[in-house]
Amino acid sequence: MNSFMLYRRAKAKEIRAKNPRITTGNLSKEISKMWHKEPLEVRSKFMKMAEEAKQQHMKKYPDYKYCPKISKKDMQRNWSENSSSSTPIVGKKFVNLFQDTWK
């Protein structure tokens, strides 16, 4: 998590307590305004918390690497858009539809 995400989590509880019917979009806008008005000391506190969270995550999951999954819906959409090709293009990467059967 980054520093703003930690800040948002902390402030969302306060704002929702005052205004339980606030929409998620308006909540995010309000917290964003608050974040930009915060002094450097407050923002630095959350930056340190984010760095600690990152270190804990790296310690807990030392071999972790972010690998986004491609949904079947995206694959089907790209297949129909690129129907002239035998392999769909997803995010500038070629996806082999039969990779599970070749393992």
Name, in order, each residue with C-beta under 8 angstroms of 41's C-beta and a sequence gap of 6 or more.
Answer: none
Question: pTM (2 decimals)?
Answer: 0.62
Q: For residue 8, how many other CB atoms are within 10 A of its CB?
A: 19
DSSP H helical ranges for 19-98? 24-37, 40-60, 72-81
Domain boundaries, position 79: 72-102
Let me know whether 42 and 90 are in one domain: no
Number of independent structural domains in the chain? 2
Please provide the distance, in angstroms rounded to a whole number, between the alpha carbons at the two ends of the chain: 35
Asked, for residue 65, whether it belongs to a domain, the answer is no
Mean pLDDT, residues 41-53: 96
What was the pLDDT predicted at 20?
93
Q: Are residues 77 and 55 in the same domain?
A: no
* Residue bearing the bigger pLDDT, 63 or 96: 63
